[in-house]
Chain A
Amino acid sequence: GENVGLHLPTLSVQEGDNSIINCAYSNSASDYFIWYKQESGKGPQFIIDIRSNMDKRQGQRVTVLLNKTVKHLSLQIAATQPGDSAVYFCAENSGSGGTSYGKLTFGQGTILTVHP
């Protein structure tokens, strides 16, 4: 069945460090992945996405890596700042067939805390 899970529920780093948040998925049919950031009292905010025909994608201070062989996804945040403190979710969509319409399957989330 579909399952997207995170290895670490919490991550604590110092300001300026690089952060790595990991995610494992089990649906080999998944071909689209997204990382979201959710701050307290807010909805999930899009960070970056990647399609299965890629293994790396970079944004501003963030990089997503996809390893389809081991079904693993990671989000790297460079020079982490206190404003990066939030819960981070990975999500996937199988991208095929009617059951994929508008449906993202989310991981459990990782709480990132950045200490000044």
Chain B
Amino acid sequence: KAGVTQTPRYLIKTRGQQVTLSCSPISGHRSVSWYQQTPGQGLQFLFEYFSETQRNKGNFPGRFSGRQFSNSRSEMNVSTLELGDSALYLCASSLLGTGAETQYFGPGTRLLVL
């Protein structure tokens, strides 16, 4: 099976712009979780989608949003970018997104905000 794929791999944006990142889960996986990874804060949970519904959300401002399509592919959007949004954004997929289930990660999208 192909692994989790993320596009684009790298992005450079300026403050105030918005950005959309894409994630394709492993075939058959219906849950997609998003994480932000920074040197200072480590890996932090953003949100999780299952069957096109957001079931869980981390402590991030409303500028961070996402959605999931009927084929389980997911996108996340960050509006009004700030310098502090520079990070590696990772998505992970699992079969059902239940607690005791392995999540498999994609390679990430590295976002640089100037």
Binding site for B on A (CB under 8 A): 31-32, 34, 36, 41-46, 49, 51, 89, 91, 93-96, 98-109
A-B CB contact pairs (8 Å), 21 listed? A31-B99, A31-B100, A34-B102, A36-B105, A43-B4, A43-B92, A43-B105, A44-B43, A44-B90, A46-B102, A95-B100, A96-B99, A98-B55, A100-B99, A101-B31, A102-B49, A102-B103, A103-B56, A104-B33, A104-B103, A109-B42
Known A32-B100, A95-B98; 4 more pairs at CB < 8 Å: A44-B92, A46-B104, A49-B102, A102-B97
With both beta carbons as reference points, the residue of chain B lying nearest to A105 in the complex is identified as B45
B94 at the interface (CB under 8 A from A): yes
With a cutoff of 8 Å between Cβ atoms, the chain A residues found around residue B56 in the complex are: 98-103
Give bound CA distance, A103 to B106, whole Å: 16
Give bound CA distance, A106 to B100, whole Å: 15
With a cutoff of 8 Å between Cβ atoms, the chain B residues found around residue A31 in the complex are: 99-100
Binding site for A on B (CB under 8 A): 4, 31-33, 35, 42-45, 48-50, 55-56, 58, 90, 92, 94, 97-108
* Contacting pair A32 B99 (CB below 8 A): yes
Give bound CA distance, A36 to B103, whole Å: 10
* Contacting pair B90 A93 (CB below 8 A): no
Give bound CA distance, A109 to B42, whole Å: 8
With both beta carbons as reference points, the residue of chain B lying nearest to A95 in the complex is identified as B99
With both beta carbons as reference points, the residue of chain B lying nearest to A89 in the complex is identified as B43
With a cutoff of 8 Å between Cβ atoms, the chain A residues found around residue B35 in the complex are: 104
With both beta carbons as reference points, the residue of chain B lying nearest to A44 in the complex is identified as B105
Give bound CA distance, A23 to B59, whole Å: 23
* Contacting pair A103 B100 (CB below 8 A): no
Give bound CA distance, A101 to B96, whole Å: 9
* Contacting pair A93 B99 (CB below 8 A): yes
* Contacting pair A101 B48 (CB below 8 A): yes
